A and B are shown apart, each in its own frame.
Chain A
Amino acid sequence: MLLWLENTPIALWVSLSYWAYPLLLSVHIIGLSVVAGIFSMRDLRALGIVRDPPLSLFLRYHRLALVGLVLNFISGLLLFSSQATVLIESIPFLVKMVCVAMASAVAFILDSRLNAAGGYEVRGLKWLAGLSLCLWMSAIVAGRLIAYIF
């Protein structure tokens, strides 16, 4: 199935066109900075590294963070398609996928708890924020190592 994916017209465009890779990587890094950037700010605030702005402010940026995540899902899928058979066996790639999935789940949990809290204390805030920060940072590390470990 992965070999089939690699041979679809779009996957072939990704691997053969000179500008496909830099274009997709550019979209991917914008998405990364948006999703990991916004969530890192929220996490650092939740952990008390900074005392302002109010946590509820970050709720208004969650949709933008989701846009970043979707951009990376799409660009990631296209990048994956051109080297599916190789990447599926790449440990850094698999680690990254797990980290992104878990970080997204934590983001969802934090979003619903922040919404429900209405300015009052959020249950489990500090450890969720710490976990979130570690997961996004780990995703970044793993993502970078894909090019180095194969």
Chain B
Amino acid sequence: MLMTFAQSLSETSLHSWVVSQTWLWPTLEVTHFFGLTLLIGGLLVVDLRVLGAAASSPLLATYRLLPIVLVGFGLNLITGVLFIFGDPFRYAANIGFQAKMIIICLAGANALYHHLKVTPLLSAASLSADVPMVAKVSAAASLLAWTTVLLLGRLIPYVGTG
């Protein structure tokens, strides 16, 4: 089923464009690296603060970095889609890629949960109050998930049949 989807992607003009320019693939890769730097850099600051690093500084102030995290994610979503269009059969057959996509969905669900359920708790808490456990679990899950995504991405060329 993934293969028929890959087949249809390989017949699109977007696919033809991506493969037609030799400079494009390295440009996409570099942009993908920029995106991951922004995403992970931002989340390291926020999540580690939630987990207790730099405890004397205001917690919610770090959340102002989240738009940058989203920019990083957006860059990677766009470049990622272009990668898929550029080499659909490879990704359809690659277990590392498939696992990466699943973890990204889980990380996204965790992020949504954090935004909808955890952030209001943090706003309500006073500066000196302990950070609620649910916030810490969510922050730890975020770091774990995105590190896994990073590693799976790196391993794509080395695992699976694609």
Binding site for B on A (CB under 8 A): 19, 21-22, 25-26, 29-30, 32-34, 36-41, 44-45, 49-54, 56-58, 60-61, 64, 136-137, 140-141, 144-145, 148
Contacts and interface: CB of A to CB of B under 8 A. Distances in A.
B154 A22 contact: yes
A44 B64 CA distance: 11
B107 interface: no
Given A26-B151, A30-B150, A44-B68, 18 more contacts: A25-B154, A37-B40, A37-B41, A37-B44, A38-B44, A41-B42, A41-B44, A41-B68, A49-B68, A50-B65, A53-B61, A53-B64, A58-B45, A60-B54, A60-B57, A61-B53, A140-B30, A148-B26
Contact of A41 (B41, B61, B150, B151): B41
Interface stretch (B10-18, B31-39, B97-105, B119-127): B31-39
Contacts of B61: 52-54, 57
Interface residues of B, dominant DSSP? helix
Contacts of A29: 36, 150-151, 154
Contact of B41 (A38, A56, A137): A38
Contact of B42 (A25, A37, A137): A37
A51 B45 CA distance: 15
Q: Which of B37, B65, B155, B158 has most chain A Cβ within 10 Å?
A: B37
Count class of interface residues, chain B:
20 to 34
A22 B155 contact: yes
A38 to B, nearest CB: 6
Given A37-B38, A52-B64, A140 B33 contact: yes
A57 B57 contact: yes
B94 interface: no
Nearest to A57: B57
Interface residues of A, dominant DSSP? helix
A18 B148 CA distance: 21
B110 interface: no
A149 to B, nearest CB: 9
A61 B48 contact: yes
Contacts of A40: 37-38, 41
Given A22-B154, A29-B150, A50-B68, A41 B57 contact: no
Contact of B57 (A19, A56, A136): A56
B30 A33 contact: no
